[in-house]
């Protein structure tokens, strides 16, 4: 019979594996009920053996006691905003500007991804472990909402190891926390049943949920995330957006399944018209 320590390690590995299958690959191997049995066993073991608790255990996702306020934290690199293009002429001009900045005659490939309307956040990992998450704020400083972000099951608490590769010493990951339309409707139905004010739209609901002072409430809002880029990084050499998509997905980050690679502005414009 395995020791409590060995069983805890085994359960954590199984739960993280199934979270990855469910939230990143959209290909679950077990039912929700089977997952809950594993989770409940881990909770019981950690309660009986508090010395075995760790900050990356799947059980930390259930939420923590209320916070009095959110402290301000500086981003490791500024969080900018996207340039807007509303017609094909603007797209052509943008592509010309990109080529000028690259200062190269080599062919340029583009990655087309849908923009999710939610709440922009930044996630900081040190030695592969999630240590902090913050809102965009003014682009230079945001609010530390780490406890709430830990409740989002599609945010990995540690970067998955791949082929023995060591994780970057420091990595700043950018993403958008959102509510799917079906989830948004479920939330409003619940708020109506509780006699509370409904959310006006999914974006406001996501942003408000990220900044709730009680993380157990955030945990009940069914938030999700799509990761779309990096901020600051150490020891990571990736040259293309297409390559970073594959890197992030393989290491446990949820990325858009709708990304497309295009070799011309005309191809991008055609895809946008469809």
Spot the catalytic one: 72, 84, 93, 115. 115
Per-residue pLDDT tens digits for 135-180? 988 889 889 999 999 989 899 999 988 877 889 999 999 999 999 9
- State the burial class of residue 239 (Cβ atoms within 10 Å of its Cβ: 0-12, 13-18, 19+): exposed
d(CA 119, CA 207): 5
Is residue 72 flagged as an active site residue? Answer: no
Per-residue pLDDT tens digits for 214-264? 677 777 778 999 999 999 999 888 889 999 999 999 999 999 999 999 999
Closest CA to 34 of 21, 24, 46, 45: 21
Positive or negative, the Cα torsion across 194, 196, 199, 200? positive
Mind listing the domains of the chain with CATH numbers? Answer: 1-61 (1.10.287.610), 63-274 (3.30.470.30)
The helix/strand/coil state of 96 is helix
Contact call for residues 231 and 80 (beta carbons, < 8 A): no
CB burial of 104-116 (b: ≥16 within 10 Å; e: otherwise) equals eeeeeebbeeeeb
Residues in CB range of 66: below 8 A, 6 or more apart: 213, 214, 215
Q: State pTM to two decimals.
A: 0.79
Structure-token pair, residue 273: 């018209």
Rounded to the nearest angstrom, the gap between the alpha carbon of residue 79 and the centroid of all alpha carbons in its chain is 15
Phi, psi of 267 (to 5 degrees): -65, -40
Q: Which letter does DSSP use for residue 67 in this model?
A: P
Contact call for residues 122 and 152 (beta carbons, < 8 A): no
CA distances from 61 to 4, 43, 92, 93, 213 (A): 21, 11, 45, 45, 15
Contact call for residues 145 and 207 (beta carbons, < 8 A): no
d(CA 200, CA 166): 44
Mean pLDDT of the chain: 88
Per-residue pLDDT tens digits for 3-42? 899 999 999 999 988 888 876 676 789 888 888 899 889 9
């Amino acid at each position: 019979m395995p020791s409590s320590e060995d069983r805890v390690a085994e359960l954590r590995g199984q739960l993280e594996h199934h979270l990855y299958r469910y939230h990143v690959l959209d290909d679950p191997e077990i039912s929700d009920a089977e997952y809950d049995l594993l989770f409940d066993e881990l909770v019981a073991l950690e309660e009986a053996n508090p010395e075995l608790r760790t900050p990356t255990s799947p059980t930390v996702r259930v939420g923590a006691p209320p916070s009095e306020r959110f402290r301000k934290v500086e981003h490791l690199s500024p969080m900018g905003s996207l340039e807007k293009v509303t017609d094909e002429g603007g797209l052509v001009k943008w592509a010309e500007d990109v080529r000028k900045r690259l200062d190269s005659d080599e062919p340029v490939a583009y990655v087309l991804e849908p923009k999710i309307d939610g709440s922009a956040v930044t996630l900081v990992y040190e030695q592969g472990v999630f240590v902090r998450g913050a809102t965009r704020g003014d682009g230079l400083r945001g609010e530390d909402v780490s406890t709430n972000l830990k409740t989002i099951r599609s945010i990995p608490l540690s970067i998955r190891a791949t082929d023995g590769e060591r994780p970057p010493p420091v990595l700043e990951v950018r993403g958008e926390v959102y509510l799917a339309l079906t989830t948004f409707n479920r939330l409003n139905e619940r708020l109506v049943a509780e006699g509370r004010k409904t959310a006006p739209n999914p974006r406001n609901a996501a942003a408000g949920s990220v900044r709730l002072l009680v993380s157990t409430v955030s945990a009940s809002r069914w938030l999700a995330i799509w990761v779309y880029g990096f901020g600051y990084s150490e020891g990571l050499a990736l040259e293309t957006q297409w390559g970073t998509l594959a890197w992030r997905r393989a290491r446990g980050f949820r990325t858009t399944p709708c990304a497309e690679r295009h070799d011309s502005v005309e191809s991008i414009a055609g895809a946008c018209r469809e």
